[in-house]
Chain A
């Protein structure tokens, strides 16, 4: 039997095709992207080697720095929503609530729905004429606060952040709940016998023992907010006047609209490095505290 399982040809048959596909279309493109990002090219005509000039230009490009800032605001908004709200709801669900499974499944649902559809749905909710937000404000007598939410430079970003909070909060509820369920239940019994209140249990038992899940969730929230695309592309495509520009939409614009592919692939590189860097930093931050 072992002899059969050692045969080289089986390794090629079973693993070969997927590995080939993954290397050719998954890994090599990243190397190729690094190369393109050092050139000025429209992919058709001749390309000119410019070294790190694309990267230098990016950091002097006010729209790109605006895009990064906006991504960071998404990170912040999502972090608040997903750490505070998700933690509260998942802690409630953790208290052996009847129907917890059902609540959890329903909360999770928006996160599996197409981001493009969600963006369009919410552009109706924010619609100046018939949208829910403005009609609600009118109904309670706050007409003066009605806005053209997604076309106003000051309100567009917070409005979009709310959508992304709404879409993914359930996902993080489920992840954090899974983390709480992993904690040894006898700890709570012991704590209850010792007279610890729910709040003390939360602070002294759940929070420290959830560190690993919180680390993972932090990585998910941050990389998710850095990679965000569909929602912005469909609602505002970065407008008005770049007020809601994010790195992915700017990358799309520079590549497939302005045809500056070298410049665009440099944005792709920065996005990739930011995601990898954020992951590394979070892991290190949690690791040192963990001993």
Chain B
């Protein structure tokens, strides 16, 4: 009996050791990044593994002032927030229209949208470039917002239709009998009830828009309009030897997503996994 107990203890210890080692592998690069953002350049060279000898915020100051990271941050925020807002608006309306309105083609239209979850963006980039060029919106924020929204809609509709189909039909019926129009009933009665779904699609499409490199790299040419990922590449091109400044710029880029993830990870994981499993 005692042997048995000893065996389970050893087994558990091995399991936890393995899990924690793996945790270290996952987290160490990020931790290393954050620690090094407070080091001086010499400190980085001579003391790669250790804590900063003296903590400095200079790298952040340099990243913002010299590297223009503050400007890129605002551009990223603007593009992401506008993209997310339009995505929420369009995909909740459409999901309601598909699950609740009565029309013959609703099933076909839904599968048409869901197909979009599998289409890689590369088949559309050059045509979009050409269309944006002809309509003179190339280089404007909207040239990134449009593809952001277009490619966020399929997964958002997939998640939202799931939420709408669980709501009882009596809800908007009651509101309409009370004299509400259907649109008003949708905004006042239905929308508040699908808030968890809206939060899920909001964070997922925000993270995707925030992280994306390809669209802003291709559709924006003006340095002043660039987003953080493109800005990071520009930083690398211009200050190739300011390593600590670059590290601070990377931290500025990843921190918002890390914060959002820490707060809402269950929703993000749930949404992404269900979306992936469907697609």
Name A residues whose Cβ lies closer than 8 Å to a Cβ of B.
1-2, 4-6, 10-11, 13-15, 17-19, 21-22, 25-30, 32-33, 36, 43, 89, 92-93, 95, 97, 103-110, 112-117, 120-122, 124-125, 127, 129-132, 135, 166, 169-171, 174-175, 178, 213, 216, 220, 223, 226-227, 229-230, 233-234, 247-248, 251-252, 255-256, 261, 264-265, 267-269, 271-272, 275-276, 279
Contacts and interface: CB of A to CB of B under 8 A. Distances in A.
Contacts of B74: none
Given A15-B98, A27-B112, 10 more contacts: A10-B97, A110-B30, A113-B254, A114-B228, A166-B26, A178-B273, A213-B277, A230-B211, A251-B122, A271-B123
Interface stretch (B54-62, B126-134, B193-201): B126-134
Contact of B48 (A2, A130, A169, A178): A130
B122 A25 contact: no
Contacts of B109: 15, 19
A95 B15 contact: yes
Nearest to A35: B127
A269 B233 contact: no
A268 B29 contact: no
Interface of B: 15-16, 18-19, 22-23, 25-27, 29-30, 32-33, 36, 44-45, 48-49, 90-91, 93-94, 96-98, 100-103, 109, 112-113, 116, 118-120, 122-131, 133, 146-147, 149-151, 153-154, 157, 173, 176, 182-183, 186, 207, 210-211, 213-214, 217-218, 228-229, 232-233, 236, 243, 246-247, 250, 253-254, 257-258, 261, 265-266, 268-269, 272-273, 276-277
A125 B247 CA distance: 11
Contacts of A213: 277
Given A5-B102, A166-B29, A227-B120, A120 B246 contact: yes
A220 B112 CA distance: 20
Contacts of A247: 122
Contacts of B126: 33, 36, 43, 255, 261, 264-265, 268
B177 to A, nearest CB: 8
Given A43-B130, A89-B22, A125 B29 contact: yes
Residue among A25, A108, A279 having the largest count of chain B Cβ atoms under 10 Å: A25
A125 B176 CA distance: 61
B15 A92 contact: yes
A259 to B, nearest CB: 11
A14 B125 contact: no
Contacts of B113: 18-19, 22
25 contacts: A5-B100, A11-B101, A15-B94, A17-B93, A18-B91, A25-B128, A29-B123, A33-B123, A36-B127, A43-B129, A103-B19, A103-B23, A113-B30, A114-B213, A116-B211, A120-B250, A121-B29, A132-B49, A169-B26, A175-B273, A230-B229, A261-B126, A269-B123, A271-B122, A272-B120
A117 B232 contact: yes
A164 B272 CA distance: 18
